[in-house]
Structure 1
Amino acid sequence: YATFTWGEKIYGVIQRTTFALTNFHLSLMPARAEDEDYYALVMARYQGMANERKRKRAESQRRYRMNRQNRIAMDRSVRYMHRSVIYS
């Protein structure tokens, strides 16, 4: 029996074959006007998802920075109080 091994040499052949079959399939079914509308809807949805992800990331970073500043301020005040107790 033959053993199949994957390699970069065969990747190019498979890629070209896949592209050729896809192009052939698309040539059998030309695009319709509603396909363009659907594509626009899908792309708008993807853009909305990307914007939401950016918004959530920005909010997360904003909360992190605020909490970090609070921790630093708290640490400084504790150190200041500790020095006051030691030197009084």
Structure 2
Amino acid sequence: MTHKSKRAVVRKMNEKDLDDVVAIDTKVLGKSRWDYWLMKMSLAEQRLPIASLVAEADGKVVGFILGDASGYEYSVPENIGWI
């Protein structure tokens, strides 16, 4: 039997992705953090589009990433980034 999988599409995360992001996070951690992800996604909307992305396959969110870059964070004076 041959299974043909479709490629994932990476796009900017939006508020409609909240439930899918929470579902993935819950699957990994074993507990729901809906309020946490609502706050993170609200903050991400204020940043560059590249900072919050989802991977979507067959119309379903299958992964996500949040990141940021700043000139001063965690008492480190140099430019840093995190994901």
TM-score normalised per structure 2 = 0.22
More helix by share: 1
The structure with higher relative contact order (CA 8 Å, sep 6+) is: 2
Larger Rg: 1
TM-score normalised per structure 1 = 0.21
